């Protein structure tokens, strides 16, 4: 094997690794939105802003008491769960109950919630860019592989690797929760048929609070995991909301396994596209995949909607 070919292989494998690791994070963002979509049938357009809130909590804990971002997951997850559940209980449910001209006005409400959150963040923290400068932010694990007589050196960024692992763990936990616990079964029943679930004696309102809380906690986890490798500012939510939306549609609205797949596909698509086509169109790839899936697989990559 020539060194040139080895170089090409190294580039390709490295890009695939980067895409997969990024995809893990994207999956976590998509999972939360997919869950909410499956149960409430609404798109939560404040999803990215909830992630922003989680990032600021992580930032605060780090800068005030120097809490490690990964440790702060134990604060962020419950906090975001409560915020999410409260939003659903006090804002979204009352709007859902009202008969209105616009059938989807809860969606508009989430846009408003998003604006309020990002403007609150700007009032409290100003528009400055903040960061969570942990010592291991650019820690990298190198792995040399021998392929046909040539050494290929692969690198894995430590925070991305951890984020990927935690994303997988949370995804698996969610599966178990939905499949094995009573509350999980109630959530699935509500997603399948809200009215029938209510007849069976399920308190569907309470289920919606829990679901929104869970969705918020999941995207909050993504925010916390992203904090060490990225930066934060009040308007950071917008682009991530649109990513979450793409992932949710890719995976089939409300399909949990689909959301994981959608996240990985988006991560890979962005990475490969940016190297082999053009980095300038990075965001366009997501949307191209999105449009193609809508046209050819309107029910998402996995084809069925099931929480």
Binding site for other proteins (CB under 8 A): 7, 10-11, 14-15, 18-19, 21-22, 25, 118-119, 122, 126-131, 133, 137-138, 140, 155, 157, 160, 226, 229-231, 233-236, 239, 270-272, 274-275, 278-283
CA distance 156 to 54: 25
Instruction: Give whichever of 119 and 203 is closer to other proteins, judged by the CB atom.
Output: 119
Q: CB-wise, 154 or 173, nearer to other proteins?
A: 154
Q: How far is the CB of 7 from other proteins (least distance, A)?
A: 6
- The position carrying tokens 């922003």 is 52
Nearer to other proteins, 185 or 238 (CB): 238
Minimum CB distance to other proteins, residue 49 (Å):
13
Q: Three-class SS of residue 117?
A: helix
Q: Which is nearer to other proteins, 19 or 215 (CB)?
A: 19
Q: For the chain, state the CA radius of gyration.
A: 20
CB 9 within 8 Å of CB 153 = no
Cβ at position 171, least distance to other proteins in Å: 19
CB of 239 vs other proteins, minimal distance in Å? 6
**139, 159 contact by CB (below 8 A):** yes
Q: Which is nearer to other proteins, 10 or 57 (CB)?
A: 10
Q: Give the whole-angstrom CA distance, residue 56 versus residue 76.
A: 10
Token duo for residue 189: 């029943």
CB of 92 to other proteins, least distance (A): 24
CB of 231 to other proteins, least distance (A): 5
Query: Rounded to an integer, what distance in angstroms lies between the CA atom of residue 215 and that of residue 174?
Result: 10
Nearest CA to 272 among 27, 28, 26, 11?
11
Q: Are 234 and 142 in contact (CB under 8 A)?
A: no
- How many residues are listed for the chain in this entry? 307
Comparison of 2 and 181: residue with beta carbon closer to other proteins:
2
């Amino acid at each position: 094997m020539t060194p040139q070919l080895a170089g090409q292989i190294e580039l390709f494998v490295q890009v695939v690794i980067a895409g997969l690791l990024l995809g893990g994070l994207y999956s976590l963002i998509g999972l939360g939105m997919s869950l909410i979509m499956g149960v409430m049938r609404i798109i939560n357009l404040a999803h990215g802003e909830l992630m922003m809130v989680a990032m600021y909590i992580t930032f605060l804990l780090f800068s005030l008491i120097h809490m490690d971002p990964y440790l702060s997951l134990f604060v962020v997850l419950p906090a975001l769960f409560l915020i999410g559940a409260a939003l659903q209980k006090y804002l979204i449910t009352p709007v859902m109950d009202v008969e209105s001209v616009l059938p989807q006005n809860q969606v508009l409400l989430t846009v408003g919630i998003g604006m309020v959150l990002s403007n609150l963040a700007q009032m409290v923290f100003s528009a400055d860019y903040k960061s969570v400068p942990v010592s291991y932010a650019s820690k990298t694990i190198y792995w040399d592989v021998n392929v046909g007589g040539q050494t290929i050196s692969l690198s894995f960024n430590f925070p991305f690797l951890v984020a990927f692992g935690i994303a997988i763990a949370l995804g698996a936990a969610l599966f178990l929760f939905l499949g094995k616990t009573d509350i999980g079964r109630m959530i699935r029943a509500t997603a399948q048929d809200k009215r029938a679930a209510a007849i069976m004696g399920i308190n569907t309102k309470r289920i919606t609070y829990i679901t929104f809380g869970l969705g918020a906690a999941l995207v909050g986890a993504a925010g916390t995991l992203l904090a060490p490798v990225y930066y934060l500012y009040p308007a950071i939510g917008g682009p991530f909301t649109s990513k979450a939306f793409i992932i949710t549609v890719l995976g089939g609205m409300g399909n949990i396994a689909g959301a994981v797949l959608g996240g990985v596909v988006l991560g890979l698509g962005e990475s490969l596209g940016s190297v082999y086509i053009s980095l300038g169109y990075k965001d366009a790839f997501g949307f191209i995949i999105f449009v193609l899936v809508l046209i050819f697989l309107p029910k998402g990559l996995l084809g069925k909607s099931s929480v």
